[in-house]
Amino acid sequence: MSRHLRVALVQTPAQSLRDFSDGLRKRMKSPNAAQLVIYPELHLCSLGVESMSEQEAVDAYAEPLDGPRDRALRSLARELGIWLVPGTVLERAEDGSVYNTAVVYNPDGERAAQYRKVFTWRPYEPFCPGREFVVFDMPGHGRVGLSICYDSWYPEVTRHLAWMGAELVINLVQTPTTGRTQEIPLNQANAIVNQVWVASVNGASPTAHGGSLLVDPEGHFQIPAAGMEDATLVGIVDFDRVGAARTYGTSGDSWPWDHFREGDSLLELPLYNGYIDPSTWRPTTPPLTSTVLRPTAGSGVAETGAKDGGSHEQ
């Protein structure tokens, strides 16, 4: 069975929820309308913030995850029958903490996943950092991992998502600085060393510096880094190319997930006060279900030294 997925990377400036909804409905009238539509980081939580104080911006945009914005996004995904990643939102937790959180909605209007940004852009980003990696399954297609902007600078993030079975990593970005120049090769490198697809979606000018891209598991640009303009970039993700790269090798000669052999000893990782266990090094093979997965203590996360090599599912 083919596992092709049409994706749209919507590189556009920050919008109000109303303008976002109207614009998405227009995009979905295209004969090439995507099955998975992805918007940039904080896309619905940045309009007008340049004239607000930090507290004013939080007061204007932070909501509980199941608040009115969530209900509107659920309804929109269900109306259009699509997988929708509307960027990230400001999530106000029960204890009052605020997180930069990616949300995903399925065609039934259910929130399929949420991920709190782990590597916030300190000291400039004031939100609380998350503490878990998140992947989710798209039935009939494959498993997808979530990362947000500065997460791409930390190889541990994409490595863990790939280890948890992600075949596509969505990286949601709002980079309004020249740092986007470095993020482009970082996303390409994350795709290559983990043999996964990477879709990195940045905002357009004047909100951010663009450069959205789609990279395949061997590091080829399927959507080359765009300019700063407002654009909807459509591409096809073939999830089977992940297995092909891992079976036949990147460019036919590199198998990073197959390095270890039976009988190899633990490789100490002093930086993490842990080790790689060769018996748990290879990624999970995802089933075609809709389960949302997160790593748990004792789940076999090799880089933290957990010894259980069993299932990663909760």
pLDDT digits (tens, 9 = 90+) for 212-236: 999 999 999 999 998 999 999 999 9
Higher-pLDDT residue of 157, 302? 157
Residue 286 included in any domain: no
pLDDT on residue 178? 94
Count of domains in the chain?
Answer: 1
Please, what is the angle between helix 68-80 and helix 17-27, to 10°? 10
Residue 229: exposure state from Cβ atoms within 10 A (0-12, 13-18, ≥19) = exposed
In the chain, what's the furthest Cα-to-Cα distance? 61
> What's the pLDDT tens digit per position in 92-110?
999 999 999 999 999 999 9
* pLDDT class of 290 with cuts at 50, 70, 90: very low
Does residue 20 form part of some domain? yes
pLDDT (average), residues 12-40: 97
Q: Identify which of 162, 198, 191 has the alpha carbon closest to the alpha carbon of residue 303.
A: 162
Q: How many CB atoms lie within 10 A of CB 178?
A: 8
CB 23 within 8 A of CB 15: yes
Confidence at 287, pLDDT banded by 50, 70, 90: low
303 within some domain? no
For residue range 265-276, what is the model confidence (pLDDT) as tens digits?
Answer: 999 999 999 999
The whole-angstrom separation of Cα 314 and Cα 310 is: 11
Predicted confidence band of residue 310 (pLDDT cuts 50, 70, 90): very low
| CATH (domain of 111) | 3.60.110.10
Look at residue 171 and tell me if it is in a domain.
yes
Q: Does a structural domain hold residue 310?
A: no
Distance CA 249, CA 186 (A): 21
Judge residue 251's burial from the number of C-beta atoms within 10 Å of its C-beta, 0-12 exposed, 13-18 middle, 19 or more buried: exposed
Query: Do the beta carbons of residue 148 and residue 175 sit within 8 Å?
Result: no
pLDDT, position 293:
53
CB 169 within 8 A of CB 195: no
Q: Is residue 71 part of a domain?
A: yes
pLDDT band at residue 32 using 50, 70 and 90 as cut-offs:
confident
261 in a structural domain: no
Sort 18 into a burial class: Cβ within 10 Å, 0-12 / 13-18 / 19+. exposed
Domain range spanning residue 196?
4-247
Ranges of beta strands (E only) in 126-225 are 135-138, 142-148, 168-172, 197-201, 213-215, 221-223
Mean of per-residue pLDDT scores for the chain:
92
* pLDDT tens digits along 42-96: 999 999 999 999 999 999 999 999 999 999 999 999 999 999 999 999 999 999 9
| pLDDT, tens only, 174-221 | 999 999 999 999 999 999 999 999 999 999 999 999 999 999 999 999
**Angle at which helices 180-194 and 155-163 cross, to 10°:** 30
C-alpha to C-alpha distance for 103 and 87, rounded to whole angstroms: 7
Q: Is residue 168 part of a domain?
A: yes
